[in-house]
């Protein structure tokens, strides 16, 4: 069984790379076919390496160090000297007290003297895991920014930081962006006017818009998570599948002799594997100002032994490893492959109610959310006795209208639990295409009796069939409350879902595929997780904000 | 004896209704519930951006329904039959004021944090530490209930004297604010008095003619100052609708504002009648602004300014009204803490609108920072603010010194970062001043008068069109 041993070698390689790798280790392991990596192609295409400051952000395992490795490989070719500094190293040096600051001083002096001596000398200073050192090396970092300005075109500063890195309730990466970099001298030369706003907005919006490389005046931000987020969509399963095949090839080539068998098997199940990868759940950076979505392996329990962790390099490496190791995962991938094939041909129309139903079902399956159906409003918002009511209210209406809602419990700061309530209301459309007066009235009633309340973390998600029906929402809000749209009254447009997404919603709802095949329990769970982690990102308002995802995704823990 | 004309007089200062400890008990309950505080923090954010103060929230309703019991429980040791005097109407009113006071307090804190300016300058660094405030409130209520028949002022004085300088300075602005909001109709009356007394020629003319008339009587020794004092006192009594001999009852209602001052030596009425800063500045700002906006009748009530708003400009108008109401507190704090005069956000808005009027209307214009400072000084001069400020400040107060002050940029940063459109910065000659938080250079203000007055009108609930 020569094939098996070749697969074993591949797996051993994967097991070796999923742990934390030092830069040198990374350099040793990944030496071949660097251009083949899809992430780097993207960076290349956008010309990110031409800027003076390159910020590389991303959750754990999205390939930051590998990106630095790539930057080294690319720029060394053009005659750049390369200096690698790790954040942990800086921390250690700073701990040494007075000597520490001398080390920083020395680093700066060394660079300056070389740059000053030789006008042809060009250097890349790459600081990895810089978030670690934000607190102690702030001045050093700002000095580096100053140097990048002074020796423009000859000193490139590469800063890589783990997006989720937090210390004592402060997200250090956000700190890096909003304090260290935006308050550095000449910050506007690099990031444009208002560096703080620009940097934070770019960080937040890059994920939801799926643009991994953002260029500023003299700097660039590579948000590796955003690269992956652009693949986190049911519409792009094909691309994700191709990317996974490419990654498998890339790993296989670096594992030693390229194992054809690995590539062939991955190729055969690529769509299924892509669906499994989509069932991971992204996380939200716990910073009220940044509130960025990232790909990150959290501590949430993995269901059905699948243990999908994150949609990024690390997660895919782990998935590929399991695919070859665990027959259960292999059969799941097999089934998922078939589901994808039938989804492609499935033509389904879904209405707002179906989407609501699927969301409710899916929320119950992920553990930290509880769907509550047909609940009288009075049980979440105690009703006030209407002043001057002409006749006593009786029967069902006594408790107010009934609603479906989801309770979201996520761990917030200081060990506290945050409870949010997402109340769903779907606007119904009659045969002529008008919003029915019943559902419009109910919407107004829900708003008037205080169901949505931002302060108390109750949000009203209004599922709207199409953009032209949004006026019913404006009518219900009225002029004086129009400002609540997008805050606690969240419109979500169903017509923004593509046909494959509609087919998916339909399949999840009935639990049966087009050819009357029942979806297995395990796969059903995978599909539910795709609803929470992926479909919620496609349900957006007219400004392109995925409000539901912001509310339903857990914090980085 | 009938009280003349048969009209039934409303007594503004009442047992329980204007008792400072009842006010504190209402606030104490809100402060002691961490979950409620979280809701209020989020509501403060909403308030700054949409103008909704959150009185429709379940949390507020829950608080309101429990507050009566809490107040009775907290104060039954000191007040007998307090439950009889706590009508539902009063409880609802006080509960909603306590809620508004805290939400706006948190909102002002958020504005300062967002602007990266004002804390330590216009308000103490420890302004956001509500636990300190809660400790002081707890102590005051404990002090009051542990003894029989003790005067409110004595209790308050005792607790405030027990605080360190730093604690005192970081707590009193919060107490002033709570006092102003919780007793807003009493303060409205006090503002009315200041409004009246600021009309110098009116009072001075009357005093003079009365003394002249009296000098016809044999043996009368003219004493203008004594007459003025008594007239002013009578005016205050009239405004707060109390008969003269009961004027000391007023002290209880406004106790934190009146005696929470270390800069004042004695707390007699004479000082309050003639030289008061905090409650004098408030009506001057309000009256001047309303006049500039073309409102005929003056609205001096604080509650009216804190009522929820919606619609376009709802958020900025709410932020602006908080800043206007806080401005006298900024000034008083700076005098207490550093004996220094500051330029407040209200000063800037007033002077910008005054310049706009002087230039003849609604067009956009550029005014240099110096010009604005000059206008502030002339507004202070006109409204008898400058004389009062000079009594307490150590430094010189001239337009040149004013525009160099960091409080000028801090106040401007608060206005601009709160999203109050209409005032922007620009550079005409040299960027001499720096606007926090990014320290953008500027030397002039670019004013879009139309937009600014639209927002300012919304402060008093004026709808456009």
DSSP conformation letters of A354-422? HHHHHHHHHHHHSSSEEEEEEEEGGGTSPPPPPTT-SS---GGGGG--EEEEEEEEEE-GGG-EEEEEE
Q: What is the CATH number of domain A32-228?
A: 3.40.50.300
Compare CB distances from A456 to B49, B58, B310 and report the shortest one's residue. Answer: B58
Bridge partners of B132? none
ipTM of the complex: 0.84
Q: Are A94 and A135 in contact (CB under 8 A)?
A: no
Size of interface A-B (CB pairs under 8 A): 56
B461 touches chain A (CB under 8 A): no
Kindly report the three-state secondary structure assignment for every residue of B270-336: HHHHHHCCHHHHHHHHHHHHHHHHCCCCCCCCHHHHCCCCCCCCHHHHHHHHHHHHHHHHHHHHHHH
Residue A353: what pLDDT?
A: 92
| Nearest CA distance, B386 vs chain A (angstrom) | 38
CB atoms B46 and A196 under 8 Å: no
Q: What share of chain B is helix, strand, coil (3-state, %, to 5)?
A: 65, 5, 30
Residues of B in contact with A382 (CB under 8 A): 58, 61-62
Instruction: Suggest the residue from B33, B35, B42 to mutate for an interface test with chain A (most A CBs closer than 10 A).
Output: B42
Residue B1: what pLDDT?
A: 41
**Residue B433 host element (H or E):** strand B433-435
Which residue of B lies nearest to A187 if distances are taken between CA atoms?
Answer: B438
Distance in angstroms (rounded) separating the CA atoms of residues A61 and A224:
10
Distance in angstroms (rounded) separating the CA atoms of residues A57 and A72:
17
Residues of A in contact with B438 (CB under 8 A): 182-183, 194-196
| Nearest CA distance, B314 vs chain A (angstrom) | 8
Domain boundaries, chain A: 32-228, 231-345, 352-383+398-552
Q: Which runs of consecutive H residues, i.e. helices, occur in A259-374? A: 260-268, 270-278, 313-325, 327-345, 352-365
Bridge partners of A298? none
- What is the pLDDT tens value at each position of chain B, 465 positions in all? 444 445 565 667 777 889 999 999 999 999 999 999 999 999 999 998 888 899 989 999 999 999 999 999 999 888 888 888 899 999 999 999 999 999 999 999 999 988 888 898 899 998 989 999 999 999 999 999 988 778 889 999 999 999 999 999 999 999 999 999 999 999 999 999 999 999 988 999 999 999 999 999 999 998 999 999 999 999 999 999 888 778 888 999 999 999 889 888 778 888 999 999 999 999 999 999 999 999 888 999 998 888 888 778 888 999 999 999 999 999 999 999 999 999 999 999 999 999 999 998 768 999 999 999 999 999 999 999 999 999 998 888 888 888 888 999 999 999 999 988 899 999 999 999 998 877 888 999 999 999 999 999 989 876 543
CB atoms A453 and B61 under 8 Å: no
Distance in angstroms (rounded) separating the CA atoms of residues B119 and A187:
25
Distance in angstroms (rounded) separating the CA atoms of residues B152 and B146:
13
Compare CB distances from B50 to A382, A450, A484 and report the shortest one's residue. Answer: A484
Q: Are B269 and B237 in contact (CB under 8 A)?
A: no
Q: Are A109 and A143 in contact (CB under 8 A)?
A: no
B162 touches chain A (CB under 8 A): no
- C-alpha distances out from residue A44 to A185, A212, A321, A324, Å: 29, 12, 29, 32
Q: Is A256 helix (H, G, I), strand (E, B) or coil?
A: coil
Q: Are strands A166-167 and A155-162 parallel, antiparallel or unpaired?
A: unpaired
Q: What is the largest CA-CA distance in chain A?
A: 91
Looking up tokens 């590998």, which residue turns up? A66
B58 touches chain A (CB under 8 A): yes
Run means of pLDDT, 10 residues per run, chain A, 557 residues? 70 79 74 68 85 91 84 91 88 73 84 90 92 85 91 93 82 88 88 88 90 90 89 92 87 77 90 92 85 75 60 86 88 90 82 93 90 91 59 60 93 82 94 93 91 93 93 89 89 92 90 74 89 93 91 87
Q: Are strands A213-215 and A219-223 parallel, antiparallel or unpaired?
A: antiparallel
Q: Are B200 and B175 in contact (CB under 8 A)?
A: no
Instruction: Suggest the residue from B310, B424, B458 to mutate for an interface test with chain A (most A CBs closer than 10 A).
Output: B310
Distance in angstroms (rounded) separating the CA atoms of residues B130 and B32:
10
Q: What CATH architecture applies to the domain B320-459? A: Orthogonal Bundle (1.10)
Dihedral angle computed from the Cα positions of residues B459, B461, B464 and B465, in that order, rounded to the nearest 10 degrees: -150
Phi, psi of B238 (to 5 degrees): -65, -45
- C-alpha distances out from residue B177 to B156, B180, B326, Å: 16, 5, 8
Question: Residues of B numbered 298-327 whose beta carbons fall under 8 angstroms of chain A's beta carbons: which are they?
Answer: 310-312, 314-315
CB atoms A487 and B54 under 8 Å: no
Domain boundaries, chain B: 20-183, 186-253, 320-459
């Amino acid at each position: 069984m020569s094939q098996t041993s070749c697969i074993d070698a591949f797996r051993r390689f994967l097991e070796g790379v999923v742990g934390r790798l030092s830069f040198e280790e990374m350099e040793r392991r990944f030496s071949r076919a660097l251009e083949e990596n899809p992430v780097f192609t993207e960076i290349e295409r956008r010309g990110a390496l031409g800027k003076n400051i390159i910020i590389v952000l991303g959750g754990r395992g999205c390939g930051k160090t590998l990106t630095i490795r790539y930057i080294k490989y690319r720029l060394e070719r053009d005659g750049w000297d390369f200096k690698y500094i790790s954040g942990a190293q800086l921390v250690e040096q700073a701990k040494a007290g007075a000597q520490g600051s001398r080390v920083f001083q020395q680093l700066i002096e060394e660079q300056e003297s070389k740059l000053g001596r030789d006008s042809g000398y060009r250097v890349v200073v790459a600081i990895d895991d810089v978030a670690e050192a934000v607190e102690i090396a702030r001045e050093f970092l700002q000095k580096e920014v100053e140097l990048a300005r002074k020796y423009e075109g000859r000193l490139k500063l590469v800063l890589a930081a783990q997006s989720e890195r937090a210390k004592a309730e402060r997200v250090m990466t956000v700190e890096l962006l909003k304090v260290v970099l935006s308050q550095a001298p000449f910050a506007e030369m690099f990031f444009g006017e208002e560096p703080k706003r620009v940097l934070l907005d770019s960080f937040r919006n890059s994920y939801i818009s799926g643009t991994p490389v953002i260029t500023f005046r003299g700097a660039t931000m590579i948000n590796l998570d955003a690269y992956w987020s652009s693949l986190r969509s049911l519409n792009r399963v094909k691309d994700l599948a191709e990317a996974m095949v490419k990654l498998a090839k890339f790993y296989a080539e670096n594992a030693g002799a390229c194992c054809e068998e690995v590539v062939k098997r991955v190729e055969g199940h690529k769509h299924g594997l892509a669906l499994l990868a989509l069932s991971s759940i992204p996380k939200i950076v716990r910073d009220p100002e940044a509130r960025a979505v990232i790909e990150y392996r959290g501590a949430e329990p993995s269901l059905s032994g699948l243990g999908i962790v994150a949609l990024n390099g690390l997660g895919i490496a782990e998935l590929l490893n399991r695919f070859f190791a665990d027959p259960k995962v292999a059969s799941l991938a097999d089934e998922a492959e078939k589901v994808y094939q039938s989804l492609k041909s499935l033509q389904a129309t879904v209405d707002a109610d179906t989407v609501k139903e699927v969301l409710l079902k899916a929320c119950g399956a992920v553990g930290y959310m509880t769907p509550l159906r047909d609940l009288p409003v009075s049980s979440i918002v105690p009703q006030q006795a209407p002043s001057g009511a002409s006749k006593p209210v009786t029967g069902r209406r006594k408790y107010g209208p009934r609603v479906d809602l989801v309770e979201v419990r996520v761990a917030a700061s200081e060990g506290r639990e945050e409870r949010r309530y997402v109340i769903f209301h779907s606007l119904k459309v009659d045969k002529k295409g008008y919003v029915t007066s019943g559902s419009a009235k109910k919407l107004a009633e829900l708003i008037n009796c205080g169901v949505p309340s931002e302060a108390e973390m109750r949000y009203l998600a209004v599922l709207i069939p199409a953009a032209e029906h949004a006026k019913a929402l404006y009518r219900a809000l009225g002029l004086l409350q129009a400002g609540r749209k997008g805050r606690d009254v969240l419109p979500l447009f169903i017509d923004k879902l593509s046909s494959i997404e509609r087919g998916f919603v339909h399949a999840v709802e009935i639990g049966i595929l087009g050819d009357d095949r029942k979806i297995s329990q395990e796969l059903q769970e995978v599909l539910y997780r795709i609803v929470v982690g992926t479909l919620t990102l496609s349900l957006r308002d007219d400004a392109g904000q995925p409000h539901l995802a912001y509310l339903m995704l857990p914090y980085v823990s | 004896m009938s009280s003349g004309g048969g009209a039934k007089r409303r007594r503004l200062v009442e047992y329980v209704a204007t008792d400072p400890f009842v006010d504190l008990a209402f606030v104490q309950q809100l402060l002691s519930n961490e979950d409620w505080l979280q809701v209020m923090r989020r509501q403060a954010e909403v308030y700054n951006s949409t103008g909704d103060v959150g009185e429709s929230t379940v949390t507020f309703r829950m608080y309101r329904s429990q507050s009566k019991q809490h107040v009775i429980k907290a104060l039954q040791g000191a007040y007998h039959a307090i439950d009889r005097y706590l009508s539902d109407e009063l409880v609802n009113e006080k509960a909603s004021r306590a809620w508004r006071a805290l939400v706006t307090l948190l909102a002002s804190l958020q504005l300062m944090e967002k602007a990266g300016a004002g804390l330590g300058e216009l308000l103490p660094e420890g302004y956001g530490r509500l636990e300190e405030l809660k400790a002081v409130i707890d102590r005051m209520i404990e002090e009051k209930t542990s003894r029989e028949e003790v005067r409110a002022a004595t209790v308050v004085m005792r607790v405030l004297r027990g605080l360190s300088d730093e604690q005192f300075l970081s707590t009193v602005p919060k107490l002033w604010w709570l006092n102003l909001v919780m007793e807003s109709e009493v303060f409205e009356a006090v503002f009315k008095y200041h409004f009246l007394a600021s009309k110098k020629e009116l009072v001075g003319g009357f005093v003079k003619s009365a003394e002249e008339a009296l000098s016809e009587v044999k043996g009368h020794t003219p004493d203008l100052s004594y007459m003025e004092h008594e007239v002013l006192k009578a005016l205050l009594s009239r405004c707060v609708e109390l008969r003269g001999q009961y004027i000391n009852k007023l002290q209880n209602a406004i106790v934190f504002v009146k005696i929470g001052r270390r800069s004042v030596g004695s707390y007699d009425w004479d000082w309050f009648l003639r030289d008061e800063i905090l409650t004098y500045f408030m009506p001057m700002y309000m009256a001047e602004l309303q006049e500039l906006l073309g409102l005929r009748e003056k609205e001096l009530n604080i509650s009216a300014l804190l009522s929820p708003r919606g619609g376009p400009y709802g958020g900025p108008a709410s932020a602006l009204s908080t800043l206007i109401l806080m401005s006298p507190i900024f000034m008083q704090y700076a005098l207490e803490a550093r004996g220094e005069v500051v330029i407040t956000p209200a000063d800037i808005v007033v002077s910008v609108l005054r310049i706009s009027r002087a230039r003849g209307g609604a067009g956009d214009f550029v005014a240099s920072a110096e010009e604005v400072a000059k206008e502030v000084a002339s507004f202070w001069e006109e409204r008898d603010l400058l004389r009062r400020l000079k009594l307490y400040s150590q430094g010189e107060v001239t337009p040149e010194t004013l525009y160099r002050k960091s409080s000028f940029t801090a106040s401007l940063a608060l206005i601009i970062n709160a999203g109050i459109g209409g005032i922007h910065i620009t550079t005409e000659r040299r960027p001499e001043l720096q606007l926090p938080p990014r320290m953008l250079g500027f030397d002039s203000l670019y004013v879009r008068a139309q937009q600014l007055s639209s927002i300012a009108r919304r402060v008093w609930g004026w709808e456009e069109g």
